[in-house]
Structure 1
Amino acid sequence: MKIMRTLLIAIIFGSLTTSCFEDRDDNVILSSSIHDFVWKGMNAVYLYKAEIPDLANDRFTSNEEYGNYLNSFSSPEELFESLIYQRQTVDRFSIIVDDYIAFEQALSGTTVSNGMEFGLFRFTETSSEIYGYVRYVMPNTSAESQGIKRGDIFYGVDGTQLTIENANNLLGSSTNSYSINIGVYNDNGTPEVNDDSVDQTTETIELIKTPYTENPILTHNILNVDGNNVGYLMYNSFTSTNQFDSELNSVFGEFQSANITDLVLDLRYNGGGSVNTAIWLSSMITGQFTGDLFIREEWNNEIQAQINSSNPESLLNPFVDEMIKYNSNGDIVFQENINHLNLNKVYILTTRSTASASELIINGLNPYIDVVQIGATTTGKYQASTTIYDSPDLGRQNANPNHTYALQPLIFKSINSEGFTDYDAGFVPQIQLNENLGNLGVLGDINEPLLAAAILDIQGIGRIGNSTQNAINFFKDSNDFIPFSKNMYINKPLNFYYYEN
Structure 2
Amino acid sequence: MNKHFTLAMKMAIVGVLGSAMLSACRKNDAKVDNSTPTASSVVSNEDSLKYLMYRIMQVTYVDGGRNKTTNLPTYFWYNQVPQLDPSASIYATADDLLATMKSYSVSNGQILDRYSFLDRTGSLSSSLQDGLSETFNKVSATGTYGMEVSYASDNNGKTYLYIVYADKNSPAGQKGLNRGDEIVAINGDSNISYDGNTNVQKVTNAIYNSTSVTLQVKKAVSGTVANYTLQSGTYNINPVLFDTIYTVNNQKTGYFSFYTFTNTINSKGAATLTKSTLDALFSKFKAAGITNLIVDLRYNGGGSVATAEYLDSAIAPSSAAGKPMYYYKYNDKLTADLEGTGLESSVPFPANTGGLSLRNVFFITSSHTASASELTLNNLLPYMSVKLVGDTTYGKPVGFITFNISKYDSTHTKQYLADLYAINFATENANHAGGYYTGIAPDEPANDYINVPWGYRTDDDNLDKIFNYISTGSFARTSANARVLTQSAANQRAAIQYSITSPKFNGMVDYRIGNRIH
Q: TM-score, normalised by structure 1?
A: 0.74
* Structure-to-structure mapping, 1:62-141, within 5 angstroms: 68-69=87-88, 73-85=91-103, 89-100=111-122, 102-107=123-128, 108-111=131-134, 112-121=143-152, 131-141=160-170
**Equivalent position of 1:307 in the other structure:** 338
* Structure-to-structure mapping, 1:277-426, within 5 angstroms: 277-286=307-316, 287-307=318-338, 311=342, 314-321=344-351, 340-390=355-405, 401-426=414-439
Match of 2:506 among 486, 493, 497: 486
Distance change (3 Å), C-alpha of 1:51 and 1:448: same
State the one-letter code of the partner of 1:378: T
**Equivalent position of 2:68 in the other structure:** none
* Structure-to-structure mapping, 1:435-454, within 5 angstroms: 435-437=448-450, 440-443=452-455, 448-454=460-466
Partner Cα distance (1:451, 1:400) in 2: 56
- The answer on 1:18 being equivalent to 2:34 is yes
Distance change (3 Å), C-alpha of 1:4 and 1:377: closer
State the one-letter code of the partner of 1:427: I
Distance change (3 Å), C-alpha of 1:464 and 1:146: farther
Match of 1:51 among 61, 74, 80: 80
- The answer on 1:175 being equivalent to 2:196 is no
Partner Cα distance (1:426, 1:419) in 2: 16
**Equivalent position of 1:212 in the other structure:** 235
Partner Cα distance (1:495, 1:148) in 2: 36
Structure 1 residue 264 displacement after superposition: 1.1
Structure 1 residue 447 displacement after superposition: 6.1
State the one-letter code of the partner of 1:487: G
Distance change (3 Å), C-alpha of 1:494 and 1:42: farther
Structure 1 residue 391 displacement after superposition: 5.7
Structure 1 residue 206 displacement after superposition: 4.4
| Structure 2 residues not aligned, in runs of 5+ | 1-17, 59-72, 135-142, 266-271, 478-482, 484-488
Partner Cα distance (1:494, 1:462) in 2: 46
Using the TM superposition, name which of 80-89 and 106-115 deviates more: 80-89
Partner Cα distance (1:379, 1:221) in 2: 27
TM-align CA RMSD: 4.0
Distance change (3 Å), C-alpha of 1:138 and 1:306: same
- SS of structure 2 residue aligned to 1:352: coil
Structure 1 residue 455 displacement after superposition: 2.0
| Structure 1 residues not aligned, in runs of 5+ | 60-65, 186-201, 323-337, 393-398
Structure 1 residue 445 displacement after superposition: 5.2
**Equivalent position of 1:459 in the other structure:** 471
- SS of structure 2 residue aligned to 1:238: coil
Distance change (3 Å), C-alpha of 1:284 and 1:157: same
**Equivalent position of 1:188 in the other structure:** none
How many pairs are equivalent? 435
Using the TM superposition, name which of 404-413 and 129-138 deviates more: 129-138
Distance change (3 Å), C-alpha of 1:388 and 1:311: closer
State the one-letter code of the partner of 1:175: S
Partner Cα distance (1:461, 1:428) in 2: 20
Structure 1 residue 295 displacement after superposition: 1.2
Structure 1 residue 381 displacement after superposition: 1.2
Q: Percent identity?
A: 23
Q: Verify the 8 A CA contact 1:157 1:179 in the aligned structure 2.
A: yes
Q: TM-score, normalised by structure 2?
A: 0.72
